[in-house]
Structure 1
Amino acid sequence: MSVDFDKIYHNLDPVPGMLRLQEGGLGWKAQDRLVTVSAQDISYMQWMRVARNFQLKIGLKSDREREVFDGLVRDDFERLSKTVKEYYGVTLETREISFRGWNWGRTEYRGSDLSFQVSGRTMFDIPVQKIANSNIASKTEVSLEFIDPTASAQGEPTDASQGSSRKADELVEMRFYIPNTDRSRQTIGDKEDDEEKNENENNEDEQSAAQLFHDQIKDKAEIGQVSGDGLVVFNDILVVTPRGRYEIDMYPTFIRLRGKTYDYKILYSSIKRLFVLPKTDEMHVLLVVALDPPIRQGQTKYPYITMQFPNNEELDATINMEESEISEKYGDRLQKHYDAPAYEVVAQVFRGLSGKDITTPKTFKSYNNQHAIKCNVKANQGDLYVMEKSLFFVTKQPIYIPFNDIQSAQFSRVGGAISSSRTFDLRVVQRSGGENIFSGINREEHEPLEEFLTSKKVKTKNNLNEELIGAPLQVDDDSDSEMDEGDKRARKLAKAAAASGGGGEDEESEEDEDFQASSSDDGSPSEGSSDEDEDGDAKMSSKKSKDKDFDEPPKKKARKQASDDAIQVDSD
């Protein structure tokens, strides 16, 4: 015997189905999808008003999330309440929903849910299994980040509705402001030592309520905790992006990164690519994990996790799983025991559990016989790795460009000056609309890089030859023209100086002096002279004295003038 309800929705599924309750449990079916719940797994059942009429919320005893069914009408309450009491021995609770619109209230845990209460009524619930990370944004703020709800732990949509809603809006972060504080004692040291215990009991630190809320979330959501299902743990791994040292716990379906400040839960379905890259210093090796969706620290997104290992560091690791189970689930992609360089061990475990292949640079060799080229993108310096199918620039925020997305690659030099002839720029235009300029590349890297890109059928354009021909000539012409103009100006100044030293004004002054000397020898003024003439002669003599003071003629002229006077006297 069973009780059926038609036009019932499961979670956010847009397609309605039939909900059937039987003594052994209940099931929901719509088209080719089926959801079943065993009677032994039912912990509680709640009835509440939601957007799609009324909702039946079922809490489960196992680790599974709660099950939610919408679309029930008010008249179904009595029949449903009687049925669940008879079949499952559970009382159907009625929960009132808050419609006040307030954004302040209290939080409490109801089973596997974090419930936000306003005046004793529920405003919303958060399943703690969906919380990927909890961070303390400030002394009074806690930030909750959620797992991508569109993918399951295996990387496939749980049903068609979730698969079709990948492009829809979704909640990825929520912040709680918690202003109150609570005084708690912090015990440090060996508890068996009575003296240290008494000292620590006297040291009371004021711990914020935000910190307590953060710790509760981490405990309920099992963030940063190691459970018995862990396969292997890598301790004290240096992570360049996001920067810090982390413990990496590998589980069958996800990874846990545990740091001093931040903890992350990463599903294997979020891993898109794995890169093992030798650095140009020949002392370290990078393991880069590409993620989609990326992890977050507040408003900052990190689509890549970059780990750095010394190339001579060895690591011994054992997978906490039977060999038969490893062979059955992972085949030859995962081994029971590893004893090799640290970067190789971690990379192989990531490869085996995530199912993604490892990409390494193989064919391309730079001028210095390395797999990477040093260059800059804007103000960020990094290494440009030339792969078989892509370009990968590794810096704090790596840039990945597949060859099939490159519209053109242009080699050019900025400016054309002599100093810039030692380097060149690589401008990559993508078909998707992006553009990146890799600047400051050594000139010797041009030939091997262009040959490799051409061999991969990447459209290239070389602007270096034209600039090399035109730049030096232009510099020489400019310098010669500047020198010519300088010579012309120098010659003009020399001529002016020569003219001022023995030219027209001095000759005029000599003629004036000769005229005065001849007139003074007679002892009387010339005919037709008057007071006006004397005044004019006085003005002229003063002008000549000024000219003499300014020009300061050399002594040769004085001797010449004396000889001329002597000749004039003799002639008289």
Structure 2
Amino acid sequence: MEFLEYNDVSAEIKGNMVPGRLKMTDQNIVFKNSKTGKVEQISANDIELVNFQKFIGSWGLRLFLKNGTLHRYGGFKEGEQEKVAKFFKTNYNKDMLEKELSLKGWNWGTAKFNGAVLSFNVGSNTAFEIPLHYVSQCNTGKNEVTLEFHQNDDTPISLMEMRFHIPTNELAGDMDAVEAFHQQVMNKASVISVSGDAIAIFRELQCLTPRGRYDIKVFQTFFQLHGKTFDYKIPMSTVLRLFLLPHKDTRQMFFVVSLDPPIKQGQTRYHYLVLLFGIEEETSLELPFTEEELQEKYEGKITKELSGPTYEVLAKIMKVIINRRVTGPGDFLGHHKTPAIACSYKAAAGYLYPLEKGFIYVHKPPVHIRFEEIASVNFARGGASSTKSFDFEIELKSGSVHTFSSIEKGEYDKLQKNKE
């Protein structure tokens, strides 16, 4: 099987170039985010057209899909154009054309909508493009449309908003050009508005991060976290991973939702939601779907009536709707016959869980470490020449070190075996 692989390519995500690894095979194109481990896959059959275009300091691939979405990857060298073009022609039967950009610097031109992309053209060349799912809000004024954008916390400078002035066109007749522009944007924008009934509602759940009691309302494309002070609407597409972890006391369960990008509360960023449930808390609910709809939408993976422990019901609904597996602890059992290792991290007490493909610590702050990120681990003697505890240090390939301290001596052999 012929394939091309690039280990130092970046994907453009909300205005930020995110490093990762790009692999192109005869079946699909796969990008793996180096930071989060998230994998994005594009089927060869979904590609409408491909361009080779100039990026800042390098060349890049521009993939436009049949569903109207745009993907851009930077970090290619000019000399690789011929090899990449040959690959696309041979495997996908696509001609890779070089995309000419307008460098005039004019701020007037023609706005064109193509799928989920807004292009601003000067003459016959594109000055810039906006993937419309980056748009968080769109407002209109007299002869004006304002676009607001989802922010990316990983980039030092973010585009907050952009205004388009649309002159009155007497030839347009009854059609309002501003309203038509607004409608085109809203059709593809990632604007979350609560409409319709929730699929499931869970009341007064105990949330450790962010702290408080919250109602969770699950909708088709997002879920709402509603508390006394704060209200969050979280797109399902931002959920990276789900974890279900038994508390060391065996009477409670942690349900952890990993988010990228995180939710914000003032200047605080929450990359994880950590919910705590009592083992004996139970709930029962009925999903607002017919049996036929459940079969069609979710392939029969979930039933109309659900009952059982609350954490189990919530985990099952999230797993099926988001289509993410729920990760539990691996085969590890510690000194006290539980998967949790009591320890301290950054002066806060919590629990470390060895997983099948990494470690997770809850809960303040939550930390998830994948095995592929780890450069080395070290068992160190605890502070003040302690003989009753030890420290477990994990050094990442990025150079940062996570130290989990005050671990009982009895866990040493168990962790040592798990490391091997």
**1:525-544 correspondence runs (5 A):** none
Q: Spell out, residue by residue over 1:341-370, the C-alpha distance to the aligned partner (whole angstroms, 9 max, x if none).
A: 000000000101110001111411111111
CA distance change for structure 1 residues 356 and 437 in 2, over 3 Å: closer, same or farther? same
**1:225-264 correspondence runs (5 A):** 226-264=194-232
Larger Rg: 1
What is the root-mean-square deviation in Å for CA atoms of aligned residues?
3.5
**1:472-511 correspondence runs (5 A):** none
- Are the equivalent residues in 2 in contact too, given 1:235–1:246 (CA < 8 A)? yes
Which of these residues, 120, 129, 152, is aligned with residue 70 of structure 1? 120
For the residue of structure 1 that corresponds to 2:356, the secondary structure is coil
- Are the equivalent residues in 1 in contact too, given 2:151–2:158 (CA < 8 A)? no
Aligned residues: 286
Q: Spell out, residue by residue over 1:186-228, the C-alpha distance to the aligned partner (whole angstroms, 9 max, x if none).
A: xxxxxxxxxxxxxxxxxxxxxxxxxxxxxxxxxxx997x7532
- Are the equivalent residues in 1 in contact too, given 2:391–2:406 (CA < 8 A)? yes
Which of these residues, 403, 406, 415, is aligned with residue 440 of structure 1? 406
- Are the equivalent residues in 2 in contact too, given 1:319–1:337 (CA < 8 A)? yes
Deviation, structure 1 residue 308: 1.0
Match of 1:189 in 2: none
Which of these residues, 263, 276, 279, is aligned with residue 244 of structure 2? 276
- Are the equivalent residues in 2 in contact too, given 1:280–1:370 (CA < 8 A)? yes
- Are the equivalent residues in 1 in contact too, given 2:203–2:214 (CA < 8 A)? yes
**2 CA distance for matches of 1:387 and 1:173?**
39
**2 CA distance for matches of 1:448 and 1:329?**
43
* TM-score, with length taken from structure 1: 0.45
Task: Point out which structure has higher relative CO (alpha carbons under 8 A, 6+ apart).
Answer: 2
Deviation, structure 1 residue 236: 1.3
Match of 1:537 in 2: none
AA aligned to 1:359 is T
- Are the equivalent residues in 2 in contact too, given 1:226–1:249 (CA < 8 A)? no
CA distance change for structure 1 residues 243 and 413 in 2, over 3 Å: closer, same or farther? same
For the residue of structure 1 that corresponds to 2:390, the secondary structure is strand
344-353 vs 374-383, greater mean Cα deviation: 374-383
Match of 2:147 in 1: 126
AA aligned to 1:445 is E
What's the % identity of the aligned pairs?
Answer: 32
Q: Does 1:391 align with 2:359?
A: yes
- Are the equivalent residues in 2 in contact too, given 1:302–1:397 (CA < 8 A)? no
**1 CA distance for matches of 2:119 and 2:403?**
53
CA distance change for structure 1 residues 31 and 414 in 2, over 3 Å: closer, same or farther? closer
**1:373-412 correspondence runs (5 A):** 373-412=341-380
Deviation, structure 1 residue 340: 0.7
Match of 1:449 in 2: 415
Which of these residues, 324, 338, 342, is aligned with residue 356 of structure 1? 324
Which of these residues, 333, 337, 345, is aligned with residue 313 of structure 2? 345
For the residue of structure 1 that corresponds to 2:403, the secondary structure is strand
Match of 1:313 in 2: 281
Deviation, structure 1 residue 33: 5.7
- Are the equivalent residues in 1 in contact too, given 2:151–2:160 (CA < 8 A)? no
Match of 1:427 in 2: 393
CA distance change for structure 1 residues 451 and 266 in 2, over 3 Å: closer, same or farther? same
CA distance change for structure 1 residues 411 and 306 in 2, over 3 Å: closer, same or farther? same
**1 CA distance for matches of 2:403 and 2:375?**
14
Which of these residues, 104, 108, 112, is aligned with residue 53 of structure 1? 108
Deviation, structure 1 residue 389: 1.5
- Are the equivalent residues in 1 in contact too, given 2:382–2:406 (CA < 8 A)? no
Deviation, structure 1 residue 170: 7.1
Q: Spell out, residue by residue over 1:81-132, the C-alpha distance to the aligned partner (whole angstroms, 9 max, x if none).
A: xxxxxxxxxxxxxxxxxxxxxxxxxxxxxxx7335x7xx885x7135xx6xx
**2 CA distance for matches of 1:68 and 1:248?**
34
CA distance change for structure 1 residues 173 and 319 in 2, over 3 Å: closer, same or farther? farther
Deviation, structure 1 residue 169: 7.5
Deviation, structure 1 residue 297: 1.2
Structure number having the greater strand percentage: 2
- Are the equivalent residues in 2 in contact too, given 1:229–1:252 (CA < 8 A)? no
Deviation, structure 1 residue 314: 0.6
Deviation, structure 1 residue 318: 1.6
- Are the equivalent residues in 2 in contact too, given 1:233–1:250 (CA < 8 A)? yes
Structure 2 segments unaligned to the other structure (5+ residues): 1-14, 16-49, 52-62, 69-104, 124-136, 162-189
**2 CA distance for matches of 1:34 and 1:374?**
48
Match of 1:202 in 2: none
CA distance change for structure 1 residues 384 and 71 in 2, over 3 Å: closer, same or farther? same
Match of 1:413 in 2: 381
**2 CA distance for matches of 1:170 and 1:309?**
39
**2 CA distance for matches of 1:332 and 1:282?**
32
Deviation, structure 1 residue 240: 0.9
Structure number having the greater helix percentage: 1
Deviation, structure 1 residue 333: 2.9
**1 CA distance for matches of 2:351 and 2:329?**
12
- Are the equivalent residues in 1 in contact too, given 2:382–2:389 (CA < 8 A)? no
* TM-score, with length taken from structure 2: 0.60
